[in-house]
Amino acid sequence: MNKYFMFLILVSAALLGGCWDRYELEERAIILALAIDLADESKAAEMPEVTHGKGEFPEQENQRIYKLTAQLAVPGKVMLGPGGGDTNSGDTDWLLVTYGYTMKDALSNLQQELAEKIHLGHIQLIVMSDQIAKNSIEDIMDFLRRDYEIRRTAWVMITEGEAHQILNATPPIQTVPSLYLANTLKEAVKFGKLPKEYLGKVWIDFSDIGVDAIIPLVQPMGDHIRVEGLAYFKEHKMVGKLSPTETGAVLAMQGQNPAGYSNVVQSEDKSGIYMVKPYRRSSDISVKMVDGKPKVFIRVNIEGFIEEEPKSKNLSGEKLEELEKTINKMGKESLEKLIKKLQKDQSDILGIGARVRAYYPKYWNEQIKDDEGWYEVYKDLDIQVSMDYRILRVGMEWK
Amino acid sequence: MKHTDSISSIQVAGIIASTIIGVPLMVLPRFIVAEVGEAAILASVVGLILSSISLIAITELGKKYKEYTIIGCNRLLLGKYIGNLLNVLIIVSMMIVMGLEVRQFAEVLASGLLPNTPIEFSIIIMIFLCTLAGFRNVSTFAYIHFFYLPFLLIPMVFLLFSIKDLETYHLLPVFGHELSLFQFMKGAFLMMAAITNYFVVAMLIPYIKDHENCVKNGIWGLFLGGLAILFCIVMTLGVFGVQELELLYWPVLSLSRIIQIPGEVLSRIDAIILITWIFAVFTTLFSHYFVAVRGTAEIFRTDKFNLISTIMVPFIYVIALIPDNIYEIYDYGINTAFFVLIIYIALPIGLLIIGRIRKRVRVQ
Amino acid sequence: MSPFFKKSNHNTDQTLRYLESKIVNEHKNKPISGSLEDNIQLLKNIFEKDLDYSFRRFELFNQIPSAIIYFQSLVDKEKINQDIIKLLQEHRMVEENKDKIPQYIIENVLYYNDTTTVKDMSKIICAIMQGKAVVFIDGCLEALELDVLQLEKRSIDEPDTERAVRGPRDGFIEQLSINISLLRYRLPIPEFRVEETEVGVRTKTKVAVCYIEDIANPALVEEVKQRIDAIEIDGILDSGYIEQMIEDNPKSPFPQVINTERPTKVVGNLLEGRVAILMNGSPSALVVPATFSQFYQTTEDYNEHWVISSFVRIFRIIALVFSLTFSSIYITFISFHPELIPAKYVVAATSGRHSIPFPVMFEVLMMELSMEVLREASVRMPQQVGGALSIVGVLVVGQAAVQAGFVSPITVVIIGMSTIGSFAVPSYNAANTFRMLRFALILLAGTLGLLGIAIGLMVVVNHMLSLRSFGVPYIAPYAPLNIKALKDSIVRAPFYQLKKRPQNIYPQDQTRMGEMVEDHTDYNFLEERKREKR
């Protein structure tokens, strides 16, 4: 019993001594979103001396100054429950801008301006401008990986132009903009419009040998945003972007479900235009060694249905078969085009290299060895695509 | 020693399982993968099988000398001086391992859960928790392990939620890339070193009711716990891949941060995994402490367990604070683990052989 | 072993003599005098001042001077007049030998059944005090002792603390004999033992140890009797005294003995092989050994369908866990790990809290404390006022506190839930324990966050695992795990699954149910018979 007593003393000592990690919810500055832009060199002069003295930041090549825009939740502005008393007008969020050589540098500067402790545990999304992405995002990712509060399930996005404009989107339906933005992406994944590429997945893709990352691309539209497709990377550099249709093609090759993106198909005789929506996709990426060289076969199976046919009412079994043929040809062409594009930019977002490495380790270790070697091979890799699109249903209309 | 306590061999299995699921669970995938790459799964299976040989030796020894713990066995077979020397070695190594493990625990807390809480405090509170649980009653010791076991295993089911992020190309090739046998065995040894704590069985032998089933059930326990560890290795490797794993300090913690439960009741389940892991740490530390305290008591032929356990607190605390930084902890940890591994494997086998020779000599 | 056995180095008799009544001690082993006047004088000296002391002289068989002595307040006067004095006076003596008169009276004169003869003066004194009438006969060295006790009893009502929707409505009352009758008529078997002992040197309280001889483990019965006999105390006023003195770990906050006012619960436990302890003057019976799972079970569980009972039991456990951990988990989430709250909610939660001046821990502690005060107040209040008070307390004060910005609305919800959870636990004492531990957990959670909760829970669980109640592990059947006994733990399996008595108390006779009978009747046999008739 003495021991219980000592235990009690120990705990109460702690109680008196600190409660070291107790920060009440209202004592935390909850950052919901971060936008990262490139800033001019001139901003270096404006930076406060927080992590380093004036001009004492160690010089290195490719030195960049980041403009960090943070979105904070403002307590007391979001009402509890329906109605919830009188709404004192004002924004539910608060945008703060700081500058820094690195992420932590900028955040330290931000902390200098805030009373509460910065809390990154609820960060919903991180937006980067394509200027940064086209250079390299390795240095940004390091801080995000190292910080224990950041969720691996946060969204990372890239936007063409100014990233902070994304955070300015204040949609009328949601109380907090960044929640709306995160929701937009989450729903997009649910509808099969985007692959599930949250922060943790992007990090894995960056680390993996023979896999390159893709990051969702968004565009500010005033008070809301539009999903623009994907940005694809070569190692840590963004090398190009994919339109929504191409995104659909990537998703099809990855076999991700549920399927999104309807496609327009015109019948051979040009009599009708059909809007076909896939709803189940499966794919198989296999690698075979032919004459000591890898050869890749990508088989895509899609099941879909017809959503719209505005012109001619002439659907029938034969017509569907004919349509399937057309759509298969079309699909194969677009897939091949997409793969050519990716090969040209040396971005292996499908993870073909990882598969070669996994299934033919001997070949890999002898001939390829690392990422550099792989890109050389990948450039002119023989990739065969086949597509099997089946239209099963035509909706509520018979014809 | 006279006693009325007894435990069943199924409880022994539970003790082994809950003991080996412990502190190293968080880091083990990283260390094995860093050593052997994709062959981690195979290496850990081999490690598990090699460990079971040592466990069989311990339980066989128990079958032969039903009345003696390993401490008593050492004294009986090796004589008073050499035996006690080895006993002290066992106890000291247990204390060192415990100290290092409690430090690891505190480090994980400090960098993943409570960054501002002094690690000294979390270290001492954990040691105190072990002393509070008491060492007088062997059946209580068994109950504690058996009771926590489901709480250690069930939360791992949550890790299954990440199965859709599992990539087969992360798991292949199973033999790794350009791996020498030496490297592979080093991976297997890492696995063995992480689960040496099944050695606690050697302190329980006089209390086991059914020695006949002990070998079989002991192996079951080892494989149950080993499977849980293996499951964590497979999931982390499958989701992260070798290159990402090498970058992560605590892969299981990171994995639990990826998982999203449908319905979003909790936005992150890493808290549940962490609590589970705290339970696991407790059961493991408790086993180490048990061996150290009861071993010391047996050397001095006393039953003042409370006194001994209280005296040991500052020693373990000091050991826990020796390493300077997080890299050093693991350097120390792996080195002692290899050393300990040699004792734990060689000792029971050696004792078995000596026992046989002695018998033959006596017969002649 | 109970701590009362550990200190066996002191002299039991000495303590007892020290504790015992001095008057009784003086007359110990002193035979009564042959002279009637001496005896009357002796008792008069002791009881002279007492209001209800009375004695009446009469001539036995119309010839021998005698006296009857009793306490008016304790006896049935009608019985004394009609059944005793009248018969003793009117009878004409046949027996000549004076020494045989008492025996003769018992055998030939009185038809009163609770009659014995005594010689020891100290016993006579005690007997009078316990509502007996004593007849002294001049020249006779034995006195007659007649049990004419009559006490006011209350009716056998349903106990207030253990209400049930379905099941028998009777409950124990203060009189031991009636309580035993309630058990006897449910257990009309020769194996049902009721052994009597006496506890309390001054109160001389009758304590009955009840068990079923061929089910209960003899070692257990022996241990219970030993522990009760070892009690050295001047008096016990309720079975709670005995409970605290025979439990295995007196320092533990957990109840280690079941107490109940329902005869059915006692009978059910006796049938499982447990031992019940009943006491004169207390309506609650004790049952040992107790396991933790019994504190969230009720007898009603066996009366209802097993699916429903299992369902209810699961909810009771959830309520138990709620009442223990809910408020501390809330603290950790809000002030240590807000990243665990879904993002949509955290924004709203900050809004609810931004005007509250106190840290969450303080807020929760304050609310919990006021909840305890309210609870205690409503227990002590007269029933009519109590209801009104709780409404005022909960609705008005709670609402006002929120509006005043004193506590956040979420806190009120959390505290409300954890308090209600503690009331859903059927056993009052187990609920109290958990309520108390809740405060410890709140402090731990407020200091160390999630680690604090984990540590706190482990301390509690480890303590529970180390507890034994009369040699039975407290957490049985979970630890040690007994798969068969799990059928009657969190869930209540159907009766055909419960063929064996619980193994953890080692009953002598393990089977309590026969095999299932195969049903040979046709599915619609009634219709079938009707058709045959036609």
CATH number of the domain at A364, please: 3.30.300.210
Domain that holds residue A207: 25-47+63-77+89-242
With an 8 Å Cβ cutoff, is A124 touching chain C? yes
Digit-coded pLDDT (tens) for C496-530? 888 888 888 888 888 888 887 877 777 777 777 77
Q: Find the CB nearest B282 among C336, C453, C458.
A: C458
- List the one residue out of B41, B44, B38, B43 whose CA is nearest residue B176: B38
Q: Find the CB nearest C338 among A25, A32, A176.
A: A25
The chain C residue lying nearest B12, using CA atoms, is C480
The chain B residue lying nearest A208, using CA atoms, is B243
Asked if residue A235 belongs to a domain, the reply is yes
Residues of chain A above pLDDT 70, percent: 91
With beta carbons less than 8 A apart as the criterion, state whether C202 and C273 touch. no
With beta carbons less than 8 A apart as the criterion, state whether A75 and A27 touch. no
What is the average pLDDT across C268-288? 91
With beta carbons less than 8 A apart as the criterion, state whether B38 and B171 touch. yes
Digit-coded pLDDT (tens) for B225-249? 889 889 988 888 888 888 888 888 8
Considering only residues C351 and A392, tell me which one the structure prediction assigns the higher pLDDT: A392
CA dihedral (C135, C197, C159, C269) positive or negative: negative
Residues 6+ apart with CB under 8 A from C22: none
Name every chain A residue with its beta carbon within 8 A of the beta carbon of B243: 207-209
pLDDT the model gives residue B349: 86
Digit-coded pLDDT (tens) for C425-434? 888 888 888 8
- In the stretch 60-79 of chain A, residues with CB closer than 8 A to chain C read 73, 75-79
**CB-side neighbour CA atoms (13 Å) of C468:** 14
Asked if residue B281 belongs to a domain, the reply is yes
What is the average pLDDT across A94-122? 86
**Nearest chain B Cα distance for residue C512, angstroms:** 26
Name every chain A residue with its beta carbon within 8 A of the beta carbon of B168: 358
pLDDT the model gives residue C96: 67
CA dihedral (B157, B162, B163, B166) positive or negative: negative
Q: Report the alpha-carbon distance of residue B19 to residue B280 in Å, rounded.
A: 7
Whether C3 shows a pLDDT value over 50: the answer reads: no
| Mutate which: A22, A178, A181, A198, vs C, most C CBs within 10 A | A22
- In the 3-class helix/strand/coil scheme, how is C357-386 assigned residue by residue? CCCHHHHHHHHHHHHHHHHHHHHHCCHHHH
Whether B362 shows a pLDDT value over 70: the answer reads: no
Q: What is the DSSP letter of B269?
A: -
First-residue to last-residue Cα distance in chain A: 84
pLDDT the model gives residue C513: 83
Q: What is the DSSP letter of A240?
A: E
Whether A81 shows a pLDDT value over 60: the answer reads: no
Q: Which amino acid, residue C396?
A: V
Whether A89 shows a pLDDT value over 60: the answer reads: no
Last residue in a domain, options A242, A261, A287: A242
Digit-coded pLDDT (tens) for B8-38? 888 888 899 999 888 888 888 888 888 888 8
Strand order, beta sheet including C192-199? C192-199, C205-212, C275-279, C285-288, C258-260
Q: Report the alpha-carbon distance of residue A388 to residue A392 in Å, rounded.
A: 12
Please give the angle made by the CA atoms of C203, C205 and C207, to the nearest 5 degrees.
160
Confidence of residue A21 (pLDDT cuts 50, 70, 90): confident
CB contact under 8 A, C462 and B133: yes
Which residues share a beta bridge with A398? none
CA dihedral (B149, B150, B152, B157) positive or negative: positive
Whether C278 shows a pLDDT value over 90: the answer reads: yes
* Alpha-helical regions (H) of A127-277: 130-135, 138-146, 164-168, 177-190, 199-207, 244-254
Whether C23 shows a pLDDT value over 80: the answer reads: no
Whether B192 shows a pLDDT value over 90: the answer reads: no
**Nearest chain A Cα distance for residue C247, angstroms:** 16
With an 8 Å Cβ cutoff, is A373 touching chain B? no
Digit-coded pLDDT (tens) for B107-119? 888 887 888 888 8
Q: Are strands A382-393 and A293-308 parallel, antiparallel or unpaired?
A: parallel
Assess whether A286 and A380 both reside in one domain.
yes
pLDDT the model gives residue B167: 81
**Other beta carbons within 10 Å of B92:** 14
Count how many domains chain A has.
2
Last residue in a domain, options A242, A263, A296: A242
Name every chain B residue with its beta carbon within 8 A of the beta carbon of C342: 264-267
| Kind and range of the H or E run holding C246 | helix C239-246
Q: Report the alpha-carbon distance of residue B107 to residue A101 in Å, rounded.
A: 29
Assess whether A99 and A207 both reside in one domain.
yes
Residues of chain B above pLDDT 90, percent: 3
Whether A77 shows a pLDDT value over 80: the answer reads: no
Asked if residue A5 belongs to a domain, the reply is no
Q: Find the CB nearest B116 among A21, A351, A365.
A: A21
- As a whole number, the mean pLDDT across chain A is 81
Residues of chain B above pLDDT 70, percent: 96
Q: How far is CA B89 from CA B85, B198, C388, in A?
A: 6, 17, 70
Q: Find the CB nearest B243 among A6, A148, A207.
A: A207
Assess whether A208 and A269 both reside in one domain.
no
Whether C13 shows a pLDDT value over 70: the answer reads: no
Q: What SS3 class is residue C35?
A: coil
What is the average pLDDT across A298-327? 83
pLDDT the model gives residue C218: 92
Count of residues for chain A?
399
Please give the angle made by the CA atoms of B299, B304 and B308, to the nearest 5 degrees.
70
Whether C271 shows a pLDDT value over 70: the answer reads: yes
- As a whole number, the mean pLDDT across chain C is 83
CATH of the domain at B141: 1.20.1740.10
Which residues share a beta bridge with A219? A226
With an 8 Å Cβ cutoff, is C355 touching chain A? yes
Confidence of residue A360 (pLDDT cuts 50, 70, 90): confident
Confidence of residue A72 (pLDDT cuts 50, 70, 90): confident
User: Range with the lowest mean pLDDT among B183-187, C9-13, C147-151?
Assistant: C9-13
Q: Report the alpha-carbon distance of residue B197 to residue B203 in Å, rounded.
A: 11
Asked if residue B286 belongs to a domain, the reply is yes
Name every chain B residue with its beta carbon within 8 A of the beta carbon of A208: 170, 241, 243-244
Q: Find the CB nearest A358 among B115, B128, B172.
A: B172
pLDDT the model gives residue C146: 83
Whether C15 shows a pLDDT value over 70: the answer reads: no
Q: What's the burial of C97, exposed, middle or buried (CB within 10 Å: 0-12/13-18/19+)?
A: exposed
What is the average pLDDT across A250-279? 81
pLDDT the model gives residue C210: 93
Digit-coded pLDDT (tens) for C434-455? 888 999 899 888 888 888 899 9
Q: Which amino acid, residue A371?
A: D
Considering only residues C325 and B161, tell me which one the structure prediction assigns the higher pLDDT: C325
Assess whether A73 and A220 both reside in one domain.
yes
**CB-side neighbour CA atoms (13 Å) of C302:** 17
CB contact under 8 A, B177 and A361: yes
Q: How far is CA B63 from CA A340, B204, B209, B280, C372, in A?
A: 69, 12, 11, 29, 56
With beta carbons less than 8 A apart as the criterion, state whether C220 and C471 touch. yes
What is the average pLDDT across A315-328? 83
What is the average pLDDT across B52-81? 84
User: Range with the lowest mean pLDDT among A10-24, C23-37, C38-52?
Assistant: A10-24
Whether C494 shows a pLDDT value over 80: the answer reads: yes
CB contact under 8 A, B113 and C343: no
Domain positions in chain C are 1-22+155-290, 31-147, 326-473
Last residue in a domain, options A192, A210, A242: A242
B103's tokens:
């430090």
Instruction: Give me the interface pTM, i.e. the ipTM.
Output: 0.90
Assess whether A308 and A376 both reside in one domain.
yes
What is the average pLDDT across C77-95? 77
User: Range with the lowest mean pLDDT among A123-127, C379-383, C433-437?
Assistant: C379-383
CB contact under 8 A, A6 and B243: no
pLDDT the model gives residue A82: 47
Whether C1 shows a pLDDT value over 60: the answer reads: no
Q: Report the alpha-carbon distance of residue A274 to residue C170 in Å, rounded.
A: 79
With an 8 Å Cβ cutoff, is B170 touching chain A? yes
pLDDT the model gives residue A84: 43
Confidence of residue B363 (pLDDT cuts 50, 70, 90): low
pLDDT the model gives residue C8: 45
- The region, left, alpha or beta by phi > 0 then psi within -120 to 50, assigned to residue C9 is alpha
CA dihedral (A340, A344, A349, A355) positive or negative: positive
Q: Report the alpha-carbon distance of residue A263 to residue A272 in Å, rounded.
A: 14
pLDDT the model gives residue A92: 64
Domain that holds residue B226: 9-358
Confidence of residue A83 (pLDDT cuts 50, 70, 90): very low
What is the average pLDDT across C302-319? 90
What is the average pLDDT across C329-355? 80
What is the average pLDDT across A231-251? 85
pLDDT the model gives residue C307: 92
User: B99-136 burial, b if ≥16 CB within 10 A, otherwise e?
Assistant: bbbbbbbbbbbbbbbbeebebebbbbbbbbbbbbbbbe
pLDDT the model gives residue C374: 82
Count how many domains chain B has.
1
CB contact under 8 A, A24 and C334: yes
Q: What is the DSSP string of C310-326?
A: HHHHHHHHHHHHHHHHH
Asked if residue A14 belongs to a domain, the reply is no
Considering only residues C99 and B52, tell me which one the structure prediction assigns the higher pLDDT: B52
Assess whether A196 and A307 both reside in one domain.
no
SS percent in chain A: helix, strand, coil, step 5: 35, 30, 35
pLDDT the model gives residue A196: 82
- In the stretch 151-190 of chain C, residues with CB closer than 8 A to chain B read none
C188's tokens:
């009309």
Asked if residue A103 belongs to a domain, the reply is yes
Whether B296 shows a pLDDT value over 70: the answer reads: yes
Q: Report the alpha-carbon distance of residue C249 to residue A222 in Å, rounded.
A: 71
pLDDT the model gives residue C286: 93
Name every chain C residue with its beta carbon within 8 A of the beta carbon of A85: none
User: C425-448 burial, b if ≥16 CB within 10 A, otherwise e?
Assistant: bbbebbbebbbebbbbbbbbbbbb
CB contact under 8 A, B139 and C461: no
What is the average pLDDT across B142-152? 89
